[in-house]
Amino acid sequence: MAVIQSALSLDTEEKMQQELRSLSSISDNYPKIIIVGGMQPTYRNDSGIQILNISDFLLNENAF
């Protein structure tokens, strides 16, 4: 199980903080993932939240 959220883009710091804030408020041990449109590189931030582009999500069965 994972907590998955989607965003069309994270093109501003304000948008990034908005998406991270909602996931950070959930206090469980499930992986937290934001799926983003476009070709933004996939990475995991310092809080352990994975930012995953839509192509990796759809094409890579081991993406998370």
In a domain, 23, yes or no: yes
Average pLDDT over residues 42-50: 94
In a domain, 52, yes or no: yes
User: pLDDT value at position 38?
Assistant: 85
In a domain, 64, yes or no: no
Using pLDDT thresholds of 50, 70 and 90, give the confidence band for residue 1.
confident
pTM: 0.88
30 phi and psi, to 5 degrees?
-75, 150
Task: Judge whether residue 64 has pLDDT over 80.
Answer: no
Instruction: Tell me the residue range of the domain where 38 lies.
Output: 3-59
In a domain, 46, yes or no: yes
Task: Judge whether residue 63 has pLDDT over 80.
Answer: no
Q: Do the beta carbons of residue 37 and residue 54 sit within 8 Å?
A: yes
